[in-house]
Amino acid sequence: MDSISNATIEDLKKVSTATIATCLFKKGLKNQYIQGVQPLQLGGATMVGPAFTLRYIPAREDLNPIAVFKDRLHPQRVAVEECPEGHVLVFDSRKDARAASAGSILATRLMVRGVAGMVTDGGFRDSGEIRELDFPAFHQAPSAPTNLTLHQAIDINVPIACGEAAVFPGDIVVGDDDGVIVIPAAIANEVAAECIEMTSYEQFVMEKVLEGTPITGLYPLTNEKIKEAYRTRKKH
């Protein structure tokens, strides 16, 4: 994994997934947004951290009885105990929310261990309890049945698909009220710096729009007088 600085993590907490999506699109990356997931808690702090992944496959009844949870090496349990502090646990649940990817006990354990958040393209059980935690969580929909009824945990920290996006271990995962986006690790520092600049200009644009300025020449920036006004603003 490429080295991601603490400054990059902090910068990405200050920008939106919408801004990141635009930045990535400019770089030719069009499919980094995890489709179909939403935050359990609105208005919380932005979730940022490297991806640690868990992959599910369709459950097979002879291999996936409830007794498998007694196995200390069960991949779901191992992932919860091994996901590093500051990382985001990302589940590949095959876009199937009919059975839960995890519940409030595992979410609480991740929170206590210092994990940055969790994301599934399936569902979480105990969603009301998870919503009350100080822990970012994103899913497709609430789901009461245990994951064993449909999902079999099979691989830890391997490349996965989540909501039609490819997620590699160490990619930087960012989540806010709009959803979750994945930044390839190799360009995360670069993207963070560019997004900080984009956010600064977008704040300037909003100020001008509220003053009554038309968006032509302002957004995108093509008017030379506006360019000079923005340069002047940045100096102060």
Q: What tens digit of pLDDT does each residue of 99-135 get?
A: 999 999 999 999 999 999 999 999 999 999 999 999 9
Cis peptide before 220 (omega within 30 of 0): yes
Mean pLDDT of the residues in the chain? 95
When comparing pLDDT for 70 and 16, which is higher?
16
The Cβ of residue 163 has, within 10 Å, a number of other Cβ atoms equal to: 23
Dihedral class, residue 10 (left if φ above 0, else alpha if ψ from -120 to 50, else beta)? alpha
When comparing pLDDT for 46 and 236, which is higher?
46
DSSP string covering 164-220 = TEEE-TT-EEEEETTEEEEE-GGGHHHHHHHHHHHHHHHHHHHHHHHTT--STTTTT
Cβ(154)–Cβ(60) below 8 Å: no
pTM for the model: 0.93
Residue 2 has pLDDT above 60, yes or no: no
pLDDT in tens, 50-90: 999 999 999 999 998 888 888 889 999 999 999 999 999 99
**Distance (Å, whole) CA 10 – CA 33:** 20
Cβ(123)–Cβ(97) below 8 Å: yes
Which stretch of 3-7, 123-127, 213-217 has the lowest confidence by average pLDDT?
Answer: 3-7
In this structure, what are the phi and psi dihedrals at residue 224, rounded to the nearest 5 degrees? Answer: -65, -35
Residue 215 has pLDDT above 60, yes or no: yes
